[in-house]
């Protein structure tokens, strides 16, 4: 089996952590691309010089030229501005859409058979734009958001219940914005419903609901919480780890069921939009979309989130981006 080639477009905060994680896990050879001269060369050199102590052996190359990503198997895109305090993800639309267009053209030309994971915000719009400009089939274009949002939700549940986060399964669906949909009813600790555990802990259903609502709210605002603390940018360790989970599922054909920003063609009653839904990832990229039953409240939240995505995409089209 030949070594996989992974192109990372954007050598900023997330791009740097992605490079390091790919090296540590020896997932493949990395080409880190950025428009800033010397930045990707400096980051890859720094990480490569830890190869002896960390014990990894992969090739890491920094570049400012698209031709170096030629024939990559997988591309992960983080090019674009991150949020600063007080900004919403949607405030990044105009700037990042221009960047995403140029990236999509570069990837289309030099890595036309790659599978692409997008992280740049506003996520749902950037994935839509990449698909439109590249013309890639929808199974090869997806976005990372739900894995991170679900990991955040799972962390809050574990901290609240005093259990290992390894045993928590909780999924967040919908768009990657304030309307995202943490699925309370499906959240469990090794099969035991989280709501049941909260009700036993507090011996009061109303209090349990209040605690869960606070965790849901914190999940929706979790990106902003980090932005407020960091002041100069947004979260980068956890988004990188989340994208690596998806990358590993694809490169190793793991068939993992993960919440992925996938193209819906009638599933969940949505036609022609990218939305976060349970997705099976394997060597072909998006291999299955798993539909699940939503109750009335969940469906209303999901519809609201889909509306936010359609509005964002309409804004992008209205602005001619
Ligand atoms: P940052 O550290 O600023 O890195 C972005 C990099 O993109 C910089 O090094 C830029 O030089 C580079 N860049 C700008 N224009 C281009 C271009 N045309 N071609 C190639 N590279 C370019 O940001 P970051 O790494 O912290 O975040 C990157 C993106 O991810 C931002 O849009 C964030 O909002 C987004 N983000 C998404 C999530 C999700 O979960 C979806 C989480 C956190 C951040």
Contact 82, 170 (CB under 8 A): no
Catalytic residue list:
176
DSSP letter assigned to residue 82: P
Largest CA distance in the chain: 62
State the average pLDDT over residues 290-310: 95
State the average pLDDT over residues 287-315: 95
Return the bridge partners of 256, or none: 281
- Alpha carbons within 13 angstroms on the beta-carbon side of residue 58 total 24
Which of 44, 75, 82 maximizes ligand 1 atoms within 8 Å of its Cβ, making it the mutation to test the pocket?
82
The answer on pLDDT for 1 being more than 70 is: no
- For atom 18 of ligand 1, the residue with the nearest CA is 99
What percentage of residues in the chain have a pLDDT greater than 70? 100
Closest CA to 285 of 78, 120, 87, 113: 113
Centre of ligand 1 from the C-alpha of residue 40, in Å = 13
User: What pLDDT does residue 272 have?
Assistant: 97
Q: Compute the CA torsion angle 160, 162, 167, 169 (nearest 10 deg).
A: -10
Centre of ligand 1 from the C-alpha of residue 274, in Å = 20
Rounded Cα gap, residues 151 and 149, in angstroms: 5
The answer on pLDDT for 213 being more than 80 is: yes
Burial of 77 (C-beta count, 10 Å sphere; 0-12/13-18/19+): buried
Closest CA to 103 of 78, 74, 70, 140: 78
Helix, strand, or coil (residue 213): helix
Each residue's pLDDT tens digit, 179-193: 999 999 999 999 999
- For atom 34 of ligand 1, the residue with the nearest CA is 82
Each residue's pLDDT tens digit, 251-262: 999 999 999 999
Measured in whole angstroms, how far is the alpha carbon of residue 24 from the centre of its chain?
A: 20
Each residue's pLDDT tens digit, 46-56: 999 999 999 99
The structural domains of the chain, ordered by start, are 5-145 (3.40.50.720), 146-321 (3.90.110.10)
Q: What is the pTM of this model?
A: 0.98
User: What pLDDT does residue 207 have?
Assistant: 98
Which of 66, 126, 234 maximizes ligand 1 atoms within 8 Å of its Cβ, making it the mutation to test the pocket?
234
User: What pLDDT does residue 260 have?
Assistant: 98
Atom of ligand 1 nearest to the CA of 83: 34
State the average pLDDT over residues 49-74: 98
The answer on pLDDT for 90 being more than 90 is: no
Which of 64, 84, 121 maximizes ligand 1 atoms within 8 Å of its Cβ, making it the mutation to test the pocket?
121
| Average predicted confidence (pLDDT) for the chain | 97
Residues with CB under 6 A from ligand 1: 9-15, 34-36, 78-83, 92, 96, 99, 102-103, 119-121, 123, 144-145, 148, 176, 233-236, 239
Each residue's pLDDT tens digit, 126-181: 999 999 999 999 999 999 999 999 999 999 999 999 999 999 999 999 999 899 99
What percentage of residues in the chain have a pLDDT greater than 90? 95
Measured in whole angstroms, how far is the alpha carbon of residue 161 from the centre of its chain?
A: 26
State the average pLDDT over residues 86-99: 92
Atom of ligand 1 nearest to the CA of 144: 41
Centre of ligand 1 from the C-alpha of residue 143, in Å = 14
Give the burial string for 86-109 (b: 16+ CB within 10 Å, else e): eeebbebbeebbebbeebbebbbe
Centre of ligand 1 from the C-alpha of residue 264, in Å = 25
Helix, strand, or coil (residue 279): strand
Output the CA–CA distances (angstroms, integers) from residue 238 to 127, 223, 244, in the order listed.
Answer: 19, 10, 10
Helix, strand, or coil (residue 1): coil
State the average pLDDT over residues 19-39: 98
């Amino acid at each position: 089996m030949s070594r996989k080639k992974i192109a990372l477009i954007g050598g900023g905060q997330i791009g740097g952590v992605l490079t390091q994680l790919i090296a540590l896990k020896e997932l493949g050879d990395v080409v880190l691309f950025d428009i800033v001269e010397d930045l990707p060369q400096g980051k890859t050199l720094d990480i490569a010089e830890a190869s002896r102590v960390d014990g990894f052996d992969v090739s890491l190359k920094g570049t400012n030229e698209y031709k170096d990503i030629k024939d990559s198997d997988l591309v992960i895109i983080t090019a674009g501005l991150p949020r600063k305090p007080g900004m919403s993800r949607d405030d990044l639309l105009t700037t990042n859409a221009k960047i995403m267009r140029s990236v999509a053209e570069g990837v289309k030309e030099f890595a036309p058979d790659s599978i692409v994971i997008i992280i740049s915000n506003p996520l749902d719009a950037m994935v839509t734009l990449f698909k439109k400009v590249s013309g890639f089939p929808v199974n090869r274009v997806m976005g990372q958001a739900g894995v991170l949002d679900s990991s955040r939700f799972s962390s809050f549940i574990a901290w609240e219940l005093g259990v290992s986060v390894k045993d928590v399964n909780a999924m967040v669906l919908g768009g990657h914005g304030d309307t995202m949909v943490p699925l309370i009813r499906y959240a469990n600790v090794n099969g035991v419903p989280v709501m049941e555990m909260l009700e036993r802990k507090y011996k009061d259903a109303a209090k349990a609901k209040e605690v869960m609502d606070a965790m849901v709210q914190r999940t929706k605002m979790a990106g902003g919480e980090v932005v407020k603390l960091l002041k100069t940018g947004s979260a980068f360790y956890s988004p990188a780890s989340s994208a690596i989970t998806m990358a590993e599922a694809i490169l190793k054909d793991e068939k993992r069921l993960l919440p992925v920003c996938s193209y819906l063609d009638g599933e969940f009653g949505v036609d022609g939009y990218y939305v976060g839904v349970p997705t099976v990832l394997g060597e072909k990229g998006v291999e299955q979309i798993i539909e699940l039953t939503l109750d009335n409240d969940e469906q209303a939240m999901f519809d609201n989130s889909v509306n936010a995505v359609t509005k964002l995409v309409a804004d992008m089209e209205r602005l001619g981006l």
